Every structure is written in structure tokens, then in C-alpha cells.
Structure 1
């Protein structure tokens, strides 16, 4: 059996890192930016919120565009947008220009992941590869690694060139992705059969969709985009996210129109011939829908630790910010190790069950913590947390890869990212609700109970999804 052409991994990785690096690097730049523009935290927070909103909307949109116009074209467009946005952000004269540039960055960084997933699927279908586990693992590990080093890199860049250096880094990164993508990625053009030319040989192939039973070639999805559906989706999701970021009665102005827009989106998508997101197909694919919901629940717990537990470590347990950073390192280190060890021969259902149980264990362990708890216990908890983080992210990605229609895997992968962002924003909102003026121990215990409930939901979703047992392993068997 042929192997996946490894040279394609280089541009895929170069493009995929753009999103996590821009998500994480800004964490250490918020205070310097606020000082530079004389802006309070409530305003600089939009540098994070704006990127979340743009990427939550942009992921399924660019994924759909990948399905319609081809992965290489959208990959290059995304890299170009990142480069332009990097220039705009570096030279931003005001905070709001910088926020707009960050939103543009969010849109640009959305393209690489669905483009890569589409390329992987078409190449594997053309070459008869059952499951590109090693390739999917490489992408997952890249995202995890960059998310870890992002804040460290940001601090180094600020020391060298101030906060603008954290924005300027997008210029060379965008250009590198642009050059590598133009030189190494195959131009599939208007025909899925061009997927076999993924190694640059221009050979024959087809994205027949054998895994999902789809008989539609990728060329069949080259249709006008459903812009009314896109608009309703964007307005609805923006309203929902704005409310989740600050869930109180004062922000119902965002929730009400958001819900109405989402209702209009559903009405539109169920009636148009070529929907932006085909809710009928999604409704007929409960396995994929379950994977999306599970992607949300997993991220609620992961970001509950990142947003909530870390605040308590500083304000409740009295640890310094530098020590808190060290406490979190075992999570990412163990997650990388787990992804590397279990990624090449994944057993999706087993990994999801083990990961769900371990998330329940670490969430429950927070109920036993108090300010007098020895520091080594925090390190132990975050180390154990790394195991489900490595198992669940990779397994959900693998499940989506096999459950989605090959002809629309770009939109499907983008939608998975949107559900994951919803989980991250929900975790942030819950943290804000349970903590008052300070991240105290009672608030942290309340957060832990929420995480326990969500972890149980993850286990139930996995145990009740028998379709996971029918998904192919890397060797083509079921797991």
C-alpha cells in the first residue's frame, strides 16, 4: 500500500500553526497593548474575543469555500490574509484598528485546517489509504506544541521588539505558508480526480467517498455559496458568543437577535437547494453530530482548567504567575507524548472512553483542593490532565474524518472547530459566573462540579455512540 506523501505535511503544518500561535501569543501582550493605547482590560479583551468570533464564524465558512473552490486556492488566500493582517496589526495606530486586524487574522488562519483535511481525504481516497493516522497525529501535535510555546515566544518577542513584534511575526509566517503552499500543494482544480496528483505528478485519482458511502465527486459541490445562510449564521453565532462572554441580563440585547438569527438560519438551510451547512444531512448523520457535541464538552473541561483553575492557583492558592505557568507544563508535555504514542494506531472509541473517565477524575480532584494543598499535587493533577487532552482531541478529529461526507469534509472540519470554540467560550463564561471579585476556593469548587457534570456527559455521549465501533483503524479494521 502506498504511503501518504510526506512532503505535503510541510505546507500543511506551516498553515495550521497560524491559528494556535495567534490564539496563544496574545496572552502575554494584552497588558503592554493596554498600556500603549491607554486602554482598560475591558477593551483589550476584544483582542481575544474578536479573534474567537471571527474564527468561530470563519471555520465553517472557509471550510465550505474549500469544498467549493478547492483546498489549495483557499489555503493560499488564507496565508495571504494572514500576511496582510500581520502588516496592518504591526502598524496599527489605534486599538480598534488592531482589533480589526486581529479579526482579519482570525479569518485568514481559518483556511489551513479545512484545506489540509480536504487534501488528506482526497489523497488517501486516491491512493487507497484506509486511515492517515500518522498525518492526523502530526497536525494535532503541531497545534498542541504551538499552543504551549506561544506565550513563551510572545514574551521573548516583547522583550526584543515590544508588543508589535507579536503581531509582526505573522508576516514571515504568512509568507512562508504562502510560498510552501504554492510550491508543494497540489492544485486539485475543478475535479476531485486531481487528488492523485498530490505528489506533483499529475496522476489520476478520485475522491469517491467510499468511507461514508457518498458517490458525489468534489466537483459536484462547485455551486454558488448560500450567502443569506452565511449571514444568518454569522449574526446568530456572534450574538450567542457575545452573550456567553458576559452572560447576564444586561447582554440579552446580543442573545435575543442571535437566537432569532439562528432560527432564521435553520429555516433557510432546510429550504434552500444548496445550503451553507446542510442541516438535513447533519440531522441524518447523528454520529457526526455527536462528535461535534463531544468536541464542545471536551473543550469546556480543558478550558475550564486554562481559564478557571489557573486563576484560582494565583488568587486562591497564592502562586506566582511564573509558578502557575510551570504547573501547566506537565499537561501539554504529557498530551504531546500521548498523541505521539497512541496517534498512529488509534482506537477511537476506547480512547474517547478512557479520556472521558480521566477528565472526570481530574475534574473531581479539584473538589479536594484548598489553599493549603501541597504544590506537588497541582503538578500531579495537570500531568494526569494531559492524558485525556492528548486522547480526546486526536480521537474526535479522527472520528470526524471518517464520519463526514468526503465531498464536504472541509466544511465538516471547520464546523468541528466552531463547536470547540463554543466549548472554550462556555468555559470562560462559567469561570466568570462562579468567581466573584476573586477566584476563591468556593468558586473553584463550583466550577469543578460543572466540569464533573460535563465530563459525565462526555462519557455518556461516547458510550452511547455505537457507530464509533465501526470506524476503521489505521490498518483498515474496525475498532
Structure 2
């Protein structure tokens, strides 16, 4: 596969993790600019997550039906417009609307990109080199997004984190139109857009997911118990409808026939729950309990992002030679080791000890990301790669939000004992992931 082809896809896929992480350092500026409290400003984060959770599988479905190149380019255009408009917003609500549009637009790149790779390589083994490039781009943009965001806010204020997307999306869009092969023309049979997209299925899926995630986000402070009946009704209705409609948005029967794909999505959610348990929980403990500054806490967390990026090429070679099972096994063992090492952190632990724990937790990040992407590629049906990739990203957000809810429940107030309670949950899930990696049937090695 041509390197420029993969590079263009990777450029688009980094937009989602970049914009989901840059916002963290701009929240205070946005609060002051629009005179809102932290609870209101935090909807710029929660709203992005919720929109992306629904947007990823939706964009994947549209890519499968109407062409991944079209959807990839459309997503870039949406991000460009939303990012250009946000700095001129007259009020906070408009900024929030632009963030939601950003989430939907950036949700197109990964599922459409994976569908483009599938179209270029056929139904053979997953191309480890291409998937490794995408994994590095995603890990680097997520890990270093706050650093870039801090620089942009310092020099351009909060509008900087929006405006940086304009040249990036324009360049990527031009390259995509030049490099990516065109889609087949939409036939008359595909022109029934509303019927093929299953709007009722999308509505029920969105209701289930938004209700569940809204409940989890509110759980630590003000549980919204009334959301649970809504989730139950939407979930039951979703399964009932999808089993009966000829063109389901969520192929329930397909999941029943493909336990491998279901397993990959479950592994993704569990791995992200464990990873974000420390990624979110450790900085809170460092700043609130150990009284490190934000900059110092960020430096102590740096090994998690840096080693995850550095290990990814090694993981790609392992996938190319052995398939996804070995990287996932090594990554799960690393997560378990790191989770157990969190128990060694106390109020008197020196910085070098904290850096050591962060390093151990960073190593499995690259292994798991690469192994999961390769496993997804192997398990996804060729004509449903976009939808499967979208659900894969949704599972990532579900795991992250579950982790956020867990931290809110057990790390208030931040203390070493609270951190150890989080480590207990992390260790249990990491042990289950080790068992899952051992018992998973071996898949074919990936293509180079």
C-alpha cells in the first residue's frame, strides 16, 4: 500500500484524539470568556464524547453504504467549517454547537479510513504497517494534544485550539482528493438514503447510548436515575427493531454470528477503562493530594504517552509476524503489572517512583492499541468495516467514560487510599484481559 495513501488517512484520524485532548487546557479560558462555571464548560468535553460515541458508528455506516472517500472528505469539510466559526461565536451555546459538529466531523476519519484500507488491501490479513502508522498518529495526538493546546492558548487564546484545525483540515482535504481513489458511483438502488440508513435504528441506538453515558457521567455527584428506564426501553426497542428491519443500522444477528468482533469491542472497552483509570486518576492525585503543579503532573505523566508512541512500531512488527494475539497478551500483562504497581504509590513516594509506574503503564498502551486495531480488522466483515470501526471507537469512549465515573465515585477526595481503590478495580479488569488474551483463538499474522 502506498505510504502517501496511509499518511493521508492517518492525518485525518488524528483530528479526533487531538481535539478531544486539546480542550482540557482551554476550559479555564473559555469559562472566563463566556462567564460560565466549570460544570457548564465541561459540556465541551462531555458533549464531544457523546456526539463522537454516536457519530463514529453512524459515519462508518454511511461510509459502508455510500463510499468511504466521500465520507472521509465530508468529515474534513465539517471540521473545517465548525473550527472556523467557533472563534466568532456570540455565546457559549454556539461554541458548544461547534464542538459537537467537530465531534461528528472527526468521527468520519477512522471508520472511513479503515474502510479505505480494506478496499485497497482486500480481505487478507491486516496490514500491520498501515495500522501501525494510524496507531502512532492517534497515540501521539492524544498524548501531546494538551501540550499543543497549552501553546496555542498561550499565544492565541482559546480560539487557537479551534483555528489550528482549519489549515490542517484544508491540507488533508486537498491531499485526500488528490491521493485517495474515488468511490464507485452511487447506484439507483443505493439512492434510498433514508431507508438504507435505518433512521429509527439510529434514534434508538442514540437514545440507548446517550442515556447510558449521561447516567455514568452524572453518577459520581448527582445520579440521574430516571435515565435508566429510558435506556432499557431504547435498548429493548433497538434489538426488537433491528431483528425485523431488512437494513439494520446495528446488525444484531451479525454480532451473534461473529463472537470475535463482539470480543474485540469488549476488550477495547475494558482496556480503555483500565488505561484511563490511571490517565485521569493519577494527575488528580498528584495535584490534589501531592500538591504538584499542573505542569509538574503533566511531566510525571509524560512516560505514559511517550512510551505508548515508541512501542507502537515494535507492536506493529509483532502483529506482522505473530498476529494480534501476542501484542494483546503482552499488553494485558503490562496493564496488570502497572495496575499492581499503583499500590506502591503513597504520599511519600518520590518522583522517580511515580515516573517508574507511569513508564510501566505506558508500555502496554502501544501494544494494546496496535493489537486491538489488527484484531478488529481481522474480525470485521469486509462490507461492514466502517461500521465495525465506528463501534470500535464508541467502545473506547464507553471505557473512558466508565473510568471517569469510577474515579468520581472512589477518588473523592483524592488520596492514596482512593488511588488504591481505583487500582483494585484496574487490577481485576486487567486480570480478566489477560485471561481473554490467553483463551482467544489465534488469528492469522498480519500483512506487512
Same structural fold, with TM-score higher than 0.5 when normalized by the shorter chain: yes
Tell me how far 1:174 sits from its aligned partner.
Answer: 2.0
- Report the TM-score, using the length of structure 2 for normalisation: 0.95
Q: What is the CA–CA distance in structure 2 between the aligned matches of 1:448 and 1:10, rounded to whole Å? A: 37
Of 212, 224, 229 in structure 2, the residue corresponding to residue 240 of structure 1 is 212
Quick one: which of 101, 118, 136 aligns to 2:98? 101
Shift of 1:148: 2.0
1:318 and 1:371 in contact (8 A); partners too: no
Kept in 2: contact 1:367–1:448 (CA 8 A): yes
Aligned to 1:392: 368
2:201 corresponding residue in structure 1: 229
Q: Does 1:458 align with 2:433?
A: yes
Partner of 1:354: 330
Contact 1:312 1:444 in 2 (8 A): yes
**Which range moves more in the overlay, 406-415 or 343-352?**
343-352
- Specify which of 377, 381, 389 is matched with residue 353 of structure 2: 377
- How many residues are aligned here? 442
- For residue 154 of structure 1, the aligned residue among 126, 142, 149 is 149
Contact 1:68 1:221 in 2 (8 A): no
- Cross-structure match for 1:207: none
Aligned equivalent of 2:131: 136
Gapped runs of 5+ residues in structure 1?
A: 193-218
Output aligned runs, 1:179-198, within 5 Å.
179-190=174-185
Residues 1:341 and 2:314 aligned together = yes
1:168-220: CA deviations, max 9, x gaps? 1122222122211111111121489xxxxxxxxxxxxxxxxxxxxxxxxxx89
Residue 163 of structure 2 is aligned with which of 154, 165, 168?
168
- Cα RMSD (Å): 2.0
The residue that corresponds to 2:118 in the other structure is: 121
Report the 3-state secondary structure (helix = DSSP H, G, I; strand = E; otherwise coil) of the residue aligned with 2:202.
Answer: helix
2:73 & 2:118 partners in 1: Cα distance?
Answer: 19
- The answer to whether the 8 Å contact 1:434/1:446 transfers is yes
CA shift for structure 1 position 221:
12
Q: How far did residue 253 of structure 1 move? A: 2.3
Instruction: Return 5+ residue gaps in structure 2 as ranges.
Output: none
Taking the aligned partners of 1:254 and 1:175, their CA distance within structure 2 comes to 40
Shift of 1:456: 1.3
SS of residue in 2 equivalent to 1:252: coil
> Would you say the 8 A contact 2:215–2:227 is kept in 1?
yes
State whether residues 7 and 133 of structure 2, in contact with CA within 8 Å, keep that contact through their aligned partners in structure 1. Answer: no
- Asked whether the equivalents of residues 37 and 95 of structure 1 are also in contact (C-alpha less than 8 Å), the reply is yes
Q: Is the 8 A contact 1:345 1:474 kept in 2?
A: no
1:470, CA displacement in angstroms? 2.9
Query: Hey, what's the Cα distance between the residues in 2 that align with 1:183 and 1:157?
Result: 30
| Moved beyond 6 Å, runs of 4+ | 219-223
What is the alpha-carbon distance in structure 2 between the residues aligned to residue 191 and residue 120 of structure 1?
A: 20
Deviation at 1:129, TM superposition (A): 6.1
> For the residues of structure 2 that align with 1:221 and 1:340, how far apart are their CA atoms?
43
Distance 2:236 2:125 in 1: 39
> Could you say which residue in structure 2 is the equivalent of 1:431?
407
When residues 250 and 295 of structure 1 are mapped into structure 2, their CA distance, relative to the original with a 3 A threshold, is: closer
2:226 counterpart SS class: helix
C-alpha distance 448-130 of structure 1, shift in aligned 2 (>3 A): closer
Larger deviation: 338-347 or 98-107?
338-347
- CA distance in 1 between counterparts of 2:127 and 2:201 reads 33
Instruction: Give the match for residue 8 of structure 2.
Output: 11
